[in-house]
Amino acid sequence: MVNIREITKDTTWLGGSDRRLALFENLFPLPDGVSYNSYLIRDDKNVLFDTSDASIAGQFLENLGGALAGEKLDYIVILHMEPDHCAEIADVVTRYPDVQLVGGAQTFKFLDQFFPGLGKDSRLIVKEGDTLSTGNHTFHFVTAPMVHWPEVLMAYDDYTKTLFSADAFGTFGALDGGIFADDHDFEKEYLDEARRYYSNIVGKYGPQVQAVLKKAAGLDIAMIAPLHGPVWRKDIPWFIDKYQKWSTYTPEDDGIVVIYGSLYGHTESAAETAAAYLRGKSGKDVKVYDVSKTHSSYLVSEIFRASKIVLFCPTYNNGIYLPMAALLHDLSALNVQNRTFAVAENGTWAPAAGKLIKEELAKLKNVKVIENMLTIKSALHPTDQTALEEFVDAVIKE
Ligand SMILES: Cc1cc2nc3c(=O)[nH]c(=O)nc-3n(C[C@H](O)[C@H](O)[C@H](O)COP(=O)(O)O)c2cc1C
Ligand SMILES: [Fe+2]
Ligand SMILES: [Fe+2]
């Protein structure tokens, strides 16, 4: 059954949602699925912006046929050569053999790595500032290197003022029938997933996102059409402001996130008690997570949101408890900056996790580690009450 929707003049969304995939990139949990968006503009010439993942190939190809309504396809624009949007290029070329492929020079290099020689006699190489005119619509190409692939292009249609933004401004989460962000309560239903998508997939590339936001500021944008998640036609400045914060590693709020590791529950109990004091004494939002239970992509996302992070960690074979060590590795790989951390360690014979964690945090840019460190010998006891409260007070005061 064809499932398409006109989103603006001559422009049809013809993507699809996948609710079966467990892990995006075989890495990030997808409890609410994901959408792969593709767009067809029907003009004197018909142009398709990207294809889809192989998982929704059947729906995508049926939608493309429905949207073309018997007309021919003139161009496929490849905004970046990543398989979640390019898996169906060969199938589209087989069905519409006269189609011309449009992309950056490096895109065609990658195309040849995935599909050797595909459409080799009908390739149109574009670069920053080039345009593609289809009649009424003229598409202006803007490069967005390393957001989050090397050769990402965005395209701006000056007729409808639509920015085809590639993976930028995308989110995890299937579409629930509403193609526009304003069909949903986006803040409630998608914002956490949009942040998790951004922080884990694009988070490392803040300066590159900043460069694109500067280019976008020079465009009169009425619509943003990303490759995942809903299309934006209202409240665009609100969402751009989120990207502004995320790409400058600026906290969104002054909440406190407590993340603990614990083998037998004693460090956990200390963390829960500290969280209760933190909330009671500061009145701020406090969230508590078990590093062994919550997937690191959610923890990374929460760290992108909040301004203060409190880590409770057992010493493990003279080192950092492994799931916590993995999280710290993620933070460094994703370039996390501008945060305040506090550290509490546990050890039964030779507590060492705190010092080691501080060494890892010192590798992050512009990160403040609160001097007061809580050391738990196996378990907290009433005699540790003062130390615990002093630790909590130091977190609040900083
Ligand atoms: C396999 C294992 C290895 C540990 N390695 C160390 C260690 O090297 N140094 C240390 O002081 N404590 C070590 N501990 C003790 C923990 O740091 C912690 O004190 C203990 O597990 C109690 O906290 P919990 O209930 O939160 O797990 C180890 C515990 C386990 C189970
Ligand atoms: Fe991508
Ligand atoms: Fe993507």
Instruction: Spell out the domains of the chain, with CATH numbers in brackets.
Output: 5-247 (3.60.15.10), 256-397 (3.40.50.360)
Instruction: Give residue 179's pLDDT.
Output: 97
> What number is the average pLDDT over the span 168-173?
98
- Residue 353 phi, psi dihedral angles, 5° rounding: -60, -40
CA 20 to chain centre: 19
Distance CA 384, CA 56 (A): 57
Atom number in ligand 1 closest to CA 351? 11
Does any ligand 1 atom lie closer than 6 A to the CB of residue 283?
no
Instruction: Give residue 300's pLDDT.
Output: 98
Atom number in ligand 1 closest to CA 316? 5
> What number is the average pLDDT over the span 289-318?
98
Distance CA 38, CA 230 (A): 12
Return the best residue to mutate from 317, 318, 374, 381 for the ligand 1 pocket (most ligand atoms within 8 A of CB): 317
Residues 6 or more apart whose Cβ sits within 8 Å of residue 89: 51, 76, 78, 101, 111, 115, 118
Does any ligand 1 atom lie closer than 6 A to the CB of residue 266?
yes
Does any ligand 1 atom lie closer than 6 A to the CB of residue 264?
yes
Does any ligand 1 atom lie closer than 6 A to the CB of residue 378?
yes
Cβ atoms 342, 308 nearer than 8 A: yes
Residues 6 or more apart whose Cβ sits within 8 Å of residue 12: 4, 5, 6, 39, 40, 41, 42, 67
Does any ligand 1 atom lie closer than 6 A to the CB of residue 265?
yes
Residue 264 — very low, low, confident or very high, per pLDDT cuts 50/70/90? very high
Instruction: Give residue 205's pLDDT.
Output: 98
DSSP assignments along 144-213, one per residue: -TTSSSTT-EEEEETTTTEEE-TTTT--SB--TT--BGGGS-HHHHTHHHHHHHIIIIIGGGHHHHHHHH
Closest C-alpha to ligand 1, atom 28: 316
Task: List the structure tokens of 118.
Answer: 């595909």
Atom number in ligand 1 closest to CA 265? 25
Instruction: Give residue 176's pLDDT.
Output: 95
- The secondary structure of residue 84, as a DSSP letter, is H
Instruction: Give residue 18's pLDDT.
Output: 98
Does any ligand 1 atom lie closer than 6 A to the CB of residue 318?
yes
- Whether a cis peptide bond, with omega within 30° of 0, leads into 148 is yes
Give the global pTM: 0.96
For the chain, percent of residues with pLDDT exceeding 90: 100
Average pLDDT, the chain: 98
Distance 36 CA to ligand 3 centre (A): 7
Nearest ligand (C-alpha, residue 312): 1
Instruction: Give residue 153's pLDDT.
Output: 98
CA 105 to chain centre: 26
Residue 60 — very low, low, confident or very high, per pLDDT cuts 50/70/90? very high
> What number is the average pLDDT over the span 287-294?
98
Q: What is the pLDDT of residues 198-256, one digit of tens each?
A: 999 999 999 999 999 999 999 999 999 999 999 999 999 999 999 999 999 999 999 99
Does any ligand 1 atom lie closer than 6 A to the CB of residue 261?
no
Distance CA 95, CA 345 (A): 61
CA 3 to chain centre: 26
Instruction: Give residue 80's pLDDT.
Output: 97
